[in-house]
Amino acid sequence: MRKGLAGQRLVAVFIAGLLLLNYPILSLFDRPLSLFGLPLLHVYLFVVWLALIVAAAWIVERGAR
């Protein structure tokens, strides 16, 4: 396990992922709307997924500077 601030940030990203990809938040985006021709829920899922991957990669690459 990573030590210091980087490890804490990775745990925070994990918890944010749990919250953002869980039922109460997902139900807010489960509407019959489309964005760029795609359902709003699918756009939300992929944007959050991408943001979590980018945040984790940034934390790992940056380290605990």
Domain boundaries, the chain: 5-62
Q: Which residue has the higher pLDDT, 51 or 4?
A: 51
Q: Using one digit for the tens of pLDDT, what is the confidence trace for 24-51?
A: 999 999 999 999 999 999 999 999 999 9
Inform me whether the pLDDT recorded for 1 exceeds 90: no
Q: Using one digit for the tens of pLDDT, what is the confidence trace for 11-24?
A: 999 999 999 999 99
**pTM, 2 dp:** 0.87
Q: Give residue 65's pLDDT.
A: 57
Quick one: pLDDT band at residue 8, thresholds 50, 70, 90? very high
Strands 34-35 and 38-39: antiparallel
